[in-house]
């Protein structure tokens, strides 16, 4: 028995590591999206064949591989950041393997039906628990596959995740049937039919939507991408000078043609627009002389002179063509540790630790309003950085009557890592879910417009041929990349085929489009286009939100109550048996 147990431990660890790695590389930077349809099979096949302790251990190794590879980019902020995410994610995701193990091993439910339901419930849980971390949902791996993601206007990203896990579970069932009893094999036709209906329905619906969906173009918007590195942005001596030089020069170029709105990304105004007379005067002049409205990312300092106190917000100012500040949006979804410290007053040791590690204590305040801005005869909402990851925020703005969204963001924290592509994938889902155009205006990339179909085009994206990349950089940035070795993450399959894992910084392209190697991040530039508008009809998802995920979560809750009842009954019977033995 001990030999089997030891061998089983080795198997459980091996297969959980395998699935963790395969699942992680479905997402950028590797983007092996096809792997998502069978990456979970090794873990699913062994999970219910383990003891409870083995299951907990295999879950740890799966999550360690998945998050360690998937969010490696967080180490660019601080090496401890990925670990800080892994620990809570282990416990937040723990209900999946526990319920999976119980439902199949103890209750003999079919391995085909249980995993998709539990997986969606797990993703929905981590979208909001402890403020949420809605990154790397299985559905996000398919962001660049338009036929598959159209179902999101009914179910959100969770419908795509469900379909992916259905295929994984079906293939796992095939494996079990091949190695198992004839009784299991008799169910193959029924389960295959169900899987076929799910997948074919998604593809048919996707093709229909892509061909039939109609949308118009609205106001012409210019987006500025200054590409200011975070170390310069954080340097008080260089901040103001470098930002203003880069952004004003690009602004002058962008406004040579008539546009309706000029956008500067998140916190790219080096001072509070409202409090700094020089900054405000500069924006007033731009607005009045060019008759252009402005949306400017800036901090907002709410000063209370009586209490000698102030509150700081991450904000976006909307300035009309007369140079007047007519509205302001304050970011609602603050990044834990990066922008605020939870429970800082209850546990003073937490901010002390963070200050020791990061050198400062983040203390931004969260906004409370989601205003709409008027531009010509259209209205739009603004989301700042991490806001776009939360489906509810975009849905609320669309329901309020927004014709399009603008997401201003500074992802310079993460340099040119895969975080930029991962958040782009999430943004594509927001556009499809609500059938609404989205402009992403970023400091370092990826700046583009996403139509309601989610199909991005070269014309709607700020790109640069790799041959022009180095020449487009200012001297201080050119010195950082020329001759420096870097991993060729761009198209890893092609890099493997060519045997070129390492390349130099100036040759490391981001995307292959129509046979051309392009950069779409880590360079200064601008682009102006008419923004895609929302469709006339509001989507089912906009109306009803995450009803699909809620249904899956309710089933998970029923499973949880059933499991809890069984364990309580077991312990009660054990207690009674002990009492009987004591009386005897």
pLDDT score recorded for residue 78:
74
pLDDT of residue 25 exceeding 70 = yes
Q: What percent of the chain has pLDDT over 90?
A: 58
Which one has a higher pLDDT value, 236 or 286?
286
Q: How far apart are the C-alpha atoms of 12 and 55, rounded to whole Å?
A: 8
Q: CA-to-CA distance for 519 and 445, rounded, in angstroms?
A: 9
- pLDDT-based confidence at 574, cuts 50/70/90? confident
pLDDT at 132 over 70: yes
198 confidence band (pLDDT: 50, 70, 90): very high
pLDDT at residue number 359: 60
**Top-confidence residue, 94 or 488:** 94
2, pLDDT greater than 50: no
The rounded radius of gyration (Å) of the Cα atoms in the chain is 26
pLDDT digit string, tens, across residues 353-381: 666 665 666 678 889 999 999 999 999 99
- SS3 of residue 549 by DSSP: helix
Question: Does position 81 have pLDDT exceeding 80, yes or no?
Answer: no
Per-residue pLDDT, averaged over 394-399, amounts to 97
* Residue with the larger pLDDT of the pair 559 and 183: 559
Select the more confidently predicted residue: 55 or 159: 159
| pLDDT at residue 83, rounded to an integer | 81
Average of pLDDT values for 409-435? Answer: 92
Residue 457, burial from CB neighbour count under 10 angstroms (0-12, 13-18, 19+): exposed
pLDDT digits (tens, 9 = 90+) for 242-274: 888 899 999 999 999 999 999 999 999 988 999
Look at 139-148, 300-309, 317-326, 443-452 and tell me which has the smallest mean pLDDT. 300-309
SS3 of residue 455 by DSSP: coil
Does pLDDT of 328 surpass 70?
Answer: yes
Pair type for strands 525-532 and 404-409 = unpaired
Q: Please compute the mean of the pLDDT values over residues 48-69 and round it to a whole number.
A: 90
Q: State mean pLDDT over 549-568.
A: 91
Range of lowest pLDDT (2-6, 136-140, 438-442, 534-538): 2-6
pLDDT reported for residue 497: 45
Q: In this structure, what token pair is assigned to residue 452?
A: 């309601």
Per DSSP, 104 falls in state: I
- pLDDT for residue 546: 96
Return the exposure string of 258-290: e unless at least 16 CB atoms fall within 10 Å of the residue's CB, then b: ebbbbbbbbbbbbbbbbebeebbebbbebbeeb
Q: Read off φ and ψ for residue 418, nearest 5 degrees.
A: -75, -5
The C-alpha atoms of residue 449 and residue 429 are separated, in whole angstroms, by: 13
Ramachandran quadrant class, 241 (left: phi over 0; alpha: psi -120 to 50; beta: rest): alpha
Reported as a pLDDT band with limits 50, 70 and 90, residue 10 is confident
Structural domains of the chain in order of their starting residue, each with its CATH number: 2-212+546-571 (no CATH), 217-304+370-462+520-543 (3.60.110.10), 465-519 (no CATH)
Average pLDDT, the chain: 87
Are 242 and 481 in contact by the 8 Å Cβ rule? The answer is no
Q: Tell me what pLDDT residue 175 has.
A: 83
Across 13-30, average pLDDT = 93
* DSSP secondary structure letters along 105-133: IIS---TTTHHHHHHHHHHHHHTTGGG--
């Amino acid at each position: 028995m001990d030999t089997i147990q030891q061998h089983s431990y080795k198997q459980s660890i091996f297969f959980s590591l395998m699935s963790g790695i395969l699942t992680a590389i479905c997402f950028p930077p590797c983007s092996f999206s096809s792997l998502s349809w069978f990456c979970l099979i090794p873990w699913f096949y062994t999970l219910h064949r383990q003891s409870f302790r083995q299951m907990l251990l295999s879950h740890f190794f799966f999550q360690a591989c998945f998050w360690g590879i998937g969010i490696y980019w967080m180490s660019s902020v601080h090496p401890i950041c990925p670990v800080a995410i892994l620990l809570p994610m282990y416990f937040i995701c723990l209900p999946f393997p526990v319920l999976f193990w119980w439902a199949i091993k103890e209750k003999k439910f079919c391995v085909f039906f249980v995993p998709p339901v539990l997986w969606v419930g797990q993703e929905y849980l981590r979208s909001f628990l402890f403020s949420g971390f809605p990154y790397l949902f299985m559905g996000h791996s398919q962001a660049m596959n338009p036929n598959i993601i159209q179902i999101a206007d009914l179910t959100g990203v969770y419908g795509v995740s469900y379909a992916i896990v259905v295929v994984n579970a079906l293939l796992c069932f095939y494996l079990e049937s091949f190695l198992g009893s004839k009784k299991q094999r008799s169910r193959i036709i029924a389960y295959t039919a169900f899987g076929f209906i799910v997948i074919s329905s998604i593809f048919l619906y996707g093709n229909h939507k892509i061909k039939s969906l109609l949308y118009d173009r609205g106001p012409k918007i210019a987006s500025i991408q200054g590409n200011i590195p975070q170390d310069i942005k954080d340097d008080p001596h260089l901040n103001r000078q470098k930002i203003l030089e880069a952004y004003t020069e690009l602004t002058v170029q962008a406004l040579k043609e008539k546009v309706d709105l000029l956008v500067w990304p998140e916190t790219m105004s080096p001072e509070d627009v409202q409090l700094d007379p020089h900054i405000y005067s500069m924006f007033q002049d731009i607005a009045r002389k060019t008759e252009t409205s402005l949306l400017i990312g800036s901090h907002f300092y709410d000063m209370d002179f009586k209490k000698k106190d102030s509150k700081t917000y991450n904000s976006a100012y909307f300035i009309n063509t007369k140079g007047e500040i007519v509205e302001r949006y304050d970011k609602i979804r603050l990044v834990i540790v990066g922008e605020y410290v939870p429970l800082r007053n209850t546990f003073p040791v937490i901010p002390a630790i963070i200050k020791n590690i990061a050198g400062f204590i983040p203390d931004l305040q969260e906004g409370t309003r989601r205003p709409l801005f008027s531009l010509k005869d259209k209205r739009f909402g603004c989301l700042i950085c991490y806001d776009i990851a939360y489906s509810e925020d975009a849905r609320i703005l669309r329901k309020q009557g927004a014709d399009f969204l603008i997401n201003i963001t500074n992802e310079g924290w993460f340099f040119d890592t895969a975080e930029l592509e991962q958040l782009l994938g999430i943004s594509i889902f927001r556009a499809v879910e609500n059938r609404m155009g989205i402009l992403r205006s970023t400091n370092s990339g990826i700046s583009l417009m996403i139509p309601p179909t989610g199909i991005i085009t070269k014309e709607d994206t700020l790109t640069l041929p790799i041959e022009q990349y180095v020449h487009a950089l200012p001297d201080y940035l050119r010195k950082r990349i020329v001759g420096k070795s870097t991993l060729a993450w761009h198209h890893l399959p092609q890099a493997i085929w060519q045997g070129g894992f390492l390349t130099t910084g100036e040759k490391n392209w981001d995307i292959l489009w129509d046979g051309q190697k392009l950069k779409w991040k880590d360079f200064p530039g601008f682009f102006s286009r008419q923004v895609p508008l929302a469709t006339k009809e509001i989507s089912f998802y906009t109306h009803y939100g995450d009803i699909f995920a809620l249904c899956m979560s309710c089933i998970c809750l029923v499973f949880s109550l059933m499991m809890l009842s069984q364990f309580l009954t077991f312990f009660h019977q054990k207690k009674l048996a002990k009492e009987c033995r004591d009386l005897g």
